[in-house]
Amino acid sequence: MKQVLRKGLKDIVVDEVPDPTVIPHHVLLKPFASLISSGTETASIHTEGLIRGVAENPSHIRKVWDVMKVNGPVRTVAEVRAKLQEYAVLGYAGAGIVVERHPTVKDIELGQRVAYGGEGTGHAETILAGQNLVAPIPDAVSHEQACFTTLGSIALNAVRISEVGVGDVVAVIGLGLVGQLVAQLARIQGAVVIATDLRPERTELAGTLGADHVIAGGDVEQQVAAITKGRGADCVIVAAAAHSSAPCHLALRLCRDRGRIVVVGAVEMSFPWNDMYLKEIKLFMARAYGPGSYDPSYEKQGRDYPEAYVRWTENRNMQEFLRLLAERRVNVDALVSHTFPLQDAEKAYQTIMAPGSTSLAVLLKYPAASAAQSSPNYAPTRKVMVNTGSNGATLRVGLVGAGNLARWAHLPIIQNTPGTRLHAVHSMSGARGKNYAVRFGAAYCTTEYEQMLGDPEIDMILIVSRNQHHASQALSALNAGKHVFLEKPMALTEEECRSLIDAVESSGKLLTVGFNRRFAPDYVAVKRALHGRQSPAVINCRVNSPGISGSYWMADPSIGGAILGEACHFTDLFYWLLESEFTSVAAASLPRGTSEPIGENNIAATFTFEDGSIANLTYCTIGTKTSGGERLEVFSPGISMITEDFKYLQKRGSRRTTSKRWWADKGYTEQMTGFLRDVRSGGRAAVDVVDGARATLACIRLLDAVRRGTAVDIDLKALLAANGRTSYAMGAD
């Protein structure tokens, strides 16, 4: 399919990417039209280039600096350069016809006309949208009009939050698309609307659309005072976009005593405390379309809010705006200045962003949608060729999951390993998949995993997807006759562990798990120091991961959370350092069942081992980013060692030695190159499926210990026995 993309900071291109696949609680649709907004959408296009883009958002400098401290200047510079050539999806509003739905979607029909919204839906020939972000289009509403549903819902939510009623005087600051719609909707509520903007053509338009008073620049305060007989506006809705706090200061001056200010635009918010206090102003923020916005359970998982408790959700606002369009109570036709076919998207953006442009909204039209409406057969293209030639590679790799770890760690290693090639990229995002395929020289990108499983040229699958998909994707790859490099965790349940052990045994293929700490120089030095010890050791490990919190998917305990997803690194590390099996674990956590902090992710645990050793693990997600990430202390007779963040190592024995490095070495290169050698030679993986099962089992028992409030046994032999095995070594009986 063709999709409109931003390349780098400013270039607009229409490129071929794979069609999306339908996922739970989502539908696929063919758009007839989509809307380019003059506001938020064009704000991400930096026509002045890199320097201006950074000047407008100085936080980018801090982000680059933080990344460089971890990954070093060479890799950081390479990533910044790559970022300037990458694709980004534009667009979030349109209307079309449903061509495919997931079985979990019950109330949307194939062939139904719908309006869609949502970040990342984009301008493309096929759109993947959540069921709560699509709304049926009434017969009286055209596709072109329905394109405004997303922005109309944003405006409607702002008016609801303002609580304006009959006779209230409402001042609307900023008459872009949202401001124009806010002004119309406030009038429907019975308010007296004062519309103001610095651009006279916008105030003139607002007047033709029904605003009671319009003010183009000038002394706005004096004119509002005259209109309200000195009282001031009952409510001021800020719909402007500005890098300064001037619109907010103006709103405060226009507002009456004990009035209300609602901010819906992207503005710098800074209010003089004394003036806010003396007027006793109520300040409200309008968050996107309404309740449900930015809630993954609502937008991604299709969980609606009960109508009795949340009357106007995101989706119900969309439906209501469409009703108002159908009854001709809102006029959006006057807001459209130009219409372009999809292939002329670059001209469309140039039109709306041209200096002095008066355009508020430009539409893109999709002729292919007409064919979809007349034909019930939807034939997607989910594989797009990118590069030709094999580079003489004898080992070809398929990537599953185009995430940051792959781009920063794994793919550069594969690219720089002689005789090895990234052959295919699978990603649910066609644009992201193509980014990776182009950058790292893959033959093709795809949104359908089966394309790679059935490709006889692929020898190995590198799985770097989300944790809940690891086991099933690895199992499919093994059954398809592929070797597997699987990022941790290997699995989330004992049953998944057993299935993978069976699959490795029956397929004869290698599976390794991304426990890179076994290959990091500092941890290798610790293991070397412990080698040959004759008595038990004590290990203390503290991990600080403040990034795994809030709405970040890895914080969700239902899909493993931080313990199954990340702490498995350290259960594997303990076993590897001690070369002794776990026997039990006792653990406690912060209070569970709360949203923040999530107790299941913040634990203190003590493991015991067959040789009498003990290991303490403190894992927390409530620390600060300025604290160290991980610190390991090891004590054995005559030896103590400390290592921190892959950059600091101290050994104390008969004398003290300390080593430091500028940039962290996490062992990624050593593990990947070693596994590629094993695949070629038919050797045994340094980290195998049993190691993955052990690490997962230890974390499962850790969580059991938290829930039970008592120590729990860890019996790897019992797990292996369920597979008919009596030995830890794969291939043995």
DSSP states along 633-657: EEEETTEEEEEETTTEEEEESSSEE
pLDDT in tens, 218-263: 789 999 999 999 999 999 999 998 888 999 999 999 999 999 999 9
Neighbour tally for 337: CB within 10 Å: 15
Predicted structure pTM score: 0.88
Q: 606 vs 315, 333, 539, CA distance in Å? A: 48, 67, 10
Q: What is the mean pLDDT of residues 646-663?
A: 88
Structure tokens at 625: 């980013």
Residue 68 has a pLDDT of 63
Q: Which residue has the higher pLDDT, 594 or 172?
A: 172
- 597 pLDDT tier (thresholds 50, 70, 90): confident
Residue 193 has a pLDDT of 97
Residue 326 pLDDT greater than 90, yes or no = yes
Q: What is the mean pLDDT of residues 14-22?
A: 95
Structure tokens at 528: 């070397």
pLDDT in tens, 424-445: 999 999 999 999 999 999 999 9
- 10 pLDDT tier (thresholds 50, 70, 90): confident
DSSP H or E stretch at residue 16: strand 11-16
Residue 200 pLDDT greater than 50, yes or no = yes
Q: What is the mean pLDDT of residues 35-50?
A: 67
- 662 pLDDT tier (thresholds 50, 70, 90): confident
Residue 498 pLDDT greater than 80, yes or no = yes
Residue 378 pLDDT greater than 90, yes or no = no
- 60 pLDDT tier (thresholds 50, 70, 90): low
Domains in the chain with CATH codes: 2-45+90-148+296-374 (3.90.180.10), 154-285 (3.40.50.720), 383-516 (3.40.50.720), 520-662+688-714 (3.30.360.10)
Residue 57 burial class via C-beta count within 10 angstroms: exposed 0-12, middle 13-18, buried 19 and up:
exposed
Q: Give yes or no for a contact between 312 and 320, defined as CB atoms under 8 angstroms apart.
A: yes
Lookup result for tokens 């990342």: 120
DSSP label at residue 595: S
Residue 99 pLDDT greater than 90, yes or no = yes
Residue 86 has a pLDDT of 86
Residue 730 has a pLDDT of 47
Helix/strand/coil percentages in the chain, nearest 5? 40, 25, 40
- 53 pLDDT tier (thresholds 50, 70, 90): low
Residue 361 has a pLDDT of 92
Residue 620 has a pLDDT of 94
As a three-state string, the secondary structure of 666-678 is: CCHHHHHHHHHHH
Q: What is the mean pLDDT of residues 269-277?
A: 93
Residue 660 burial class via C-beta count within 10 angstroms: exposed 0-12, middle 13-18, buried 19 and up:
exposed
- 354 pLDDT tier (thresholds 50, 70, 90): confident
- 165 pLDDT tier (thresholds 50, 70, 90): very high
Q: Which residue has the higher pLDDT, 372 or 611?
A: 611
Percent of the chain with pLDDT over 70: 92
The whole-angstrom separation of Cα 677 and Cα 550 is 40
Residue 732 has a pLDDT of 38
Residue 733 pLDDT greater than 50, yes or no = no
Q: Give yes or no for a contact between 96 and 116, defined as CB atoms under 8 angstroms apart.
A: yes
- 731 pLDDT tier (thresholds 50, 70, 90): very low
- Give the residue among 466, 502, 505, 506 at the shortest CA–CA distance from 486: 466
Q: What is the mean pLDDT of the chain?
A: 90
Strand, coil or helix: what is 15? strand
Strand, coil or helix: what is 356? coil
Q: What is the mean pLDDT of residues 520-530?
A: 95
Residue 328 burial class via C-beta count within 10 angstroms: exposed 0-12, middle 13-18, buried 19 and up:
exposed
- 549 pLDDT tier (thresholds 50, 70, 90): confident
Sheet of 169-173, strands arranged across = 213-216, 192-197, 169-173, 233-238, 255-263, 282-285
